[in-house]
Amino acid sequence: MYPSELFDKRMLLDRSTVTKGVGVRNETPRVRRNASMKQSSAKKAGFRSNFELNLARALADRGIMYEYESTKLTYLPKPRTYTPDFFIPSTNIYIEAKGHFDKGDRVKMLLVKEQHPELDIRFVFLNSRNKIYKGSKTTYADWATKNKFDWAEGSIPEEWYK
Protein backbone atom coordinates (compact mmCIF):
# COMPACT_ATOMS: atom_id res chain seq x y z
CA MET A 1 0.00 0.00 0.00
CA TYR A 2 1.35 3.41 -0.93
CA PRO A 3 1.38 6.27 1.58
CA SER A 4 -1.01 8.19 -0.65
CA GLU A 5 -3.61 5.40 -0.17
CA LEU A 6 -3.53 5.65 3.61
CA PHE A 7 -5.76 8.71 3.88
CA ASP A 8 -9.46 8.32 4.32
CA LYS A 9 -11.26 7.99 1.00
CA ARG A 10 -14.06 10.14 2.35
CA MET A 11 -11.81 13.15 1.86
CA LEU A 12 -12.23 12.74 -1.91
CA LEU A 13 -16.02 12.84 -1.76
CA ASP A 14 -18.34 15.74 -1.18
CA ARG A 15 -19.18 15.67 2.56
CA SER A 16 -22.92 15.55 1.88
CA THR A 17 -22.63 12.17 0.11
CA VAL A 18 -20.85 10.34 2.93
CA THR A 19 -23.14 8.54 5.31
CA LYS A 20 -22.65 9.07 8.98
CA GLY A 21 -20.95 6.35 10.93
CA VAL A 22 -18.83 5.05 8.06
CA GLY A 23 -15.21 4.51 8.99
CA VAL A 24 -13.03 2.95 11.63
CA ARG A 25 -13.79 3.39 15.31
CA ASN A 26 -11.07 3.54 17.94
CA GLU A 27 -13.28 2.42 20.84
CA THR A 28 -14.55 -1.02 21.57
CA PRO A 29 -18.35 -1.15 21.42
CA ARG A 30 -20.00 -0.67 24.79
CA VAL A 31 -22.90 -2.76 25.96
CA ARG A 32 -25.86 -0.59 26.86
CA ARG A 33 -27.94 -1.88 29.70
CA ASN A 34 -31.56 -1.23 28.94
CA ALA A 35 -34.71 -2.52 30.62
CA SER A 36 -35.01 -5.58 28.37
CA MET A 37 -31.47 -6.73 29.20
CA LYS A 38 -31.95 -6.22 32.93
CA GLN A 39 -35.08 -8.34 32.87
CA SER A 40 -33.65 -11.13 30.76
CA SER A 41 -32.96 -13.41 33.73
CA ALA A 42 -36.49 -12.85 35.04
CA LYS A 43 -37.98 -13.48 31.60
CA LYS A 44 -35.99 -16.68 31.20
CA ALA A 45 -37.27 -17.85 34.58
CA GLY A 46 -40.87 -17.10 33.55
CA PHE A 47 -41.43 -13.91 35.57
CA ARG A 48 -42.34 -10.43 34.37
CA SER A 49 -39.67 -8.58 36.39
CA ASN A 50 -36.61 -9.10 38.54
CA PHE A 51 -38.67 -7.90 41.51
CA GLU A 52 -41.13 -10.79 41.03
CA LEU A 53 -38.21 -13.19 40.53
CA ASN A 54 -36.64 -12.07 43.83
CA LEU A 55 -39.95 -12.47 45.70
CA ALA A 56 -40.33 -15.98 44.26
CA ARG A 57 -36.76 -16.87 45.27
CA ALA A 58 -37.39 -15.64 48.81
CA LEU A 59 -40.51 -17.80 49.08
CA ALA A 60 -38.71 -20.84 47.67
CA ASP A 61 -35.74 -20.33 50.03
CA ARG A 62 -38.13 -20.43 52.99
CA GLY A 63 -39.87 -23.53 51.64
CA ILE A 64 -43.18 -21.72 51.14
CA MET A 65 -45.47 -23.24 48.54
CA TYR A 66 -46.83 -20.64 46.12
CA GLU A 67 -48.51 -20.38 42.75
CA TYR A 68 -47.44 -17.79 40.20
CA GLU A 69 -50.17 -16.20 38.06
CA SER A 70 -52.38 -19.25 38.41
CA THR A 71 -55.71 -17.49 39.07
CA LYS A 72 -57.69 -15.27 36.74
CA LEU A 73 -60.40 -13.05 38.21
CA THR A 74 -63.05 -11.37 36.08
CA TYR A 75 -64.17 -7.84 36.90
CA LEU A 76 -66.55 -5.30 35.34
CA PRO A 77 -67.73 -2.77 33.92
CA LYS A 78 -66.14 -4.14 30.76
CA PRO A 79 -65.47 -7.81 31.32
CA ARG A 80 -61.73 -7.96 31.95
CA THR A 81 -59.45 -10.32 33.78
CA TYR A 82 -56.98 -9.67 36.56
CA THR A 83 -54.20 -12.15 37.29
CA PRO A 84 -52.62 -11.78 40.75
CA ASP A 85 -48.87 -12.37 40.79
CA PHE A 86 -48.65 -14.83 43.69
CA PHE A 87 -51.06 -17.02 45.61
CA ILE A 88 -50.02 -18.64 48.87
CA PRO A 89 -52.38 -21.62 49.39
CA SER A 90 -51.50 -22.20 53.05
CA THR A 91 -52.79 -18.74 54.05
CA ASN A 92 -55.14 -18.09 51.13
CA ILE A 93 -53.45 -14.76 50.35
CA TYR A 94 -52.99 -13.17 46.94
CA ILE A 95 -49.92 -10.97 46.55
CA GLU A 96 -49.44 -8.30 43.90
CA ALA A 97 -45.84 -7.16 43.34
CA LYS A 98 -45.69 -3.54 42.22
CA GLY A 99 -42.72 -1.53 41.09
CA HIS A 100 -44.79 1.02 39.14
CA PHE A 101 -48.39 1.65 40.24
CA ASP A 102 -50.22 3.77 37.67
CA LYS A 103 -53.81 5.02 37.63
CA GLY A 104 -55.05 2.07 35.56
CA ASP A 105 -53.65 -0.36 38.12
CA ARG A 106 -55.25 1.57 41.00
CA VAL A 107 -58.68 1.64 39.34
CA LYS A 108 -58.42 -2.06 38.48
CA MET A 109 -57.51 -3.02 42.05
CA LEU A 110 -60.46 -1.05 43.50
CA LEU A 111 -62.87 -2.77 41.08
CA VAL A 112 -61.44 -6.21 41.87
CA LYS A 113 -61.66 -5.59 45.63
CA GLU A 114 -65.24 -4.35 45.32
CA GLN A 115 -66.35 -7.29 43.16
CA HIS A 116 -64.37 -9.99 45.03
CA PRO A 117 -64.60 -8.96 48.72
CA GLU A 118 -63.93 -12.54 49.85
CA LEU A 119 -60.34 -12.42 48.55
CA ASP A 120 -57.37 -11.25 50.61
CA ILE A 121 -55.26 -9.27 48.12
CA ARG A 122 -52.08 -7.60 49.40
CA PHE A 123 -49.34 -5.50 47.83
CA VAL A 124 -45.58 -5.67 47.99
CA PHE A 125 -44.19 -2.41 46.67
CA LEU A 126 -40.65 -2.05 45.41
CA ASN A 127 -40.69 1.46 46.95
CA SER A 128 -43.79 2.37 48.96
CA ARG A 129 -42.67 6.02 49.18
CA ASN A 130 -43.15 6.60 45.44
CA LYS A 131 -45.85 9.16 44.65
CA ILE A 132 -48.97 8.00 42.81
CA TYR A 133 -48.33 10.73 40.24
CA LYS A 134 -45.86 13.57 39.79
CA GLY A 135 -46.60 16.39 42.22
CA SER A 136 -48.91 14.30 44.41
CA LYS A 137 -48.48 14.11 48.18
CA THR A 138 -50.01 10.61 48.21
CA THR A 139 -47.57 7.69 48.21
CA TYR A 140 -48.26 4.11 47.14
CA ALA A 141 -48.40 3.20 50.83
CA ASP A 142 -50.88 6.00 51.61
CA TRP A 143 -53.14 4.86 48.77
CA ALA A 144 -53.06 1.21 49.88
CA THR A 145 -53.78 2.12 53.52
CA LYS A 146 -56.63 4.48 52.54
CA ASN A 147 -58.24 1.74 50.42
CA LYS A 148 -57.78 -0.95 53.11
CA PHE A 149 -55.16 -3.05 51.32
CA ASP A 150 -52.42 -4.64 53.42
CA TRP A 151 -49.00 -3.79 52.02
CA ALA A 152 -45.29 -4.25 52.57
CA GLU A 153 -42.15 -2.84 51.01
CA GLY A 154 -39.38 -4.82 49.35
CA SER A 155 -40.24 -8.33 50.53
CA ILE A 156 -43.09 -10.49 51.77
CA PRO A 157 -43.39 -10.33 55.59
CA GLU A 158 -43.20 -13.64 57.47
CA GLU A 159 -46.65 -13.07 59.02
CA TRP A 160 -48.20 -13.33 55.57
CA TYR A 161 -47.24 -16.96 55.06
CA LYS A 162 -47.46 -18.33 58.60
In order of their start, the domains of the chain are 66-160 (3.40.91.30)
Percent of the chain with pLDDT over 70: 75
pTM beyond 0.75, yes or no: no
Tell me the pLDDT tens digit for each residue of 54-107: 999 999 999 999 999 999 999 999 899 999 999 999 999 999 999 999 999 999
Q: Is the dihedral of CA 81, 119, 121, 53 positive or negative?
A: negative
pLDDT digits (tens, 9 = 90+) for 115-157: 999 999 999 999 999 999 999 999 999 999 999 999 999 999 9
